[in-house]
Copies of this chain bind each other. A is one copy, B any other.
Amino acid sequence: MPATPIAGPAIYAVDPWVRGIPKARHQLLSDDERALLAKISSIVRFKKGETIYQEGDAAEAAFNIISGVVTAYRRLADGDHVSSFVYQGDIFGLSEQGCYTNSAKAATAVVAYKIPLSALRRILEQHADLDIDLIIKLCEGLREAQHHALLLARKHAATRLAMFLELLERLQIARGEPAAEIHLPVGRSSIAAYLGLTPASLSRALRTLTSRKIISSRDLRHIRILDRAAFQKVADTNGAGP
């Protein structure tokens, strides 16, 4: 046996009830619970760009990401809308009446636990602790979706972009990664689809912040915040700065 075997599914979240260090994310599942879930799940791998499931497909399983990033999106007549970027320790594969409500594709190479819903339901009926963990995680998902809506309600492209970068940075910190630089998990068009902008507008917003020396980008996937105060102002207010 290896020294650190994979213990089983892991759910990371901020506790909705307990007061603690701001945004302290922790592992919700105990070792026993992880082992329990491991017994009913299988490990699956997806190549970058691969479709995991599509909106409307019969939902047989939920997924828990071990590594990589998944894009959850909906296909519309006029292009895609990205609902969320799903990271390690997150869950995806929500269903409504037995069908997935959105599509999912691997934004990077992905390794995940695949948890059949039938088995999951059985376990949830038995183990109240597990239910509570799931409730906590769902609360977090709900808050994130509401944050997304808040972002989309902002009227200026630069504000939306700044809020998004702020979000990525927060997630990075919560994951314990270095946060000097913000890492973009996906390409421009996916970000634009998340922000409700066209790629062209996103590009311009990026240019605006860059030329104002508020941010700088090392390459297409790495952004650094140079002027925190100005950045915050763009993220918070709608009006353009002086």
Tell me if A3 counts as interface (CB < 8 A to partner B): no
Tell me if A211 counts as interface (CB < 8 A to partner B): no
B residues near A128, Cβ cutoff 8 Å: 124-128, 131
Binds B, one of A46-54, A97-105, A212-220, A222-230: A97-105
B residues near A84, Cβ cutoff 8 Å: 146
> How many A residues touch the partner, as a band?
35 or more
Alpha-carbon distance between A78 and B240 when the two chains are bound, in angstroms: 12
**This chain: how many copies in the complex?**
2
Tell me if A95 counts as interface (CB < 8 A to partner B): yes
Taking a contact as CB atoms under 8 Å apart, the answer to whether A146 and B96 are in contact is: no
Binds B, one of A16-24, A34-42, A106-114, A178-186: A16-24
Alpha-carbon distance between A179 and B19 when the two chains are bound, in angstroms: 44
Binds B, one of A63-71, A133-141, A165-173: A133-141
17 contacts between A and B (CB under 8 A): A16-B95, A17-B95, A17-B98, A19-B97, A19-B98, A78-B238, A125-B132, A128-B131, A131-B132, A138-B138, A145-B145, A145-B148, A148-B149, A149-B152, A152-B152, A152-B196, A155-B196
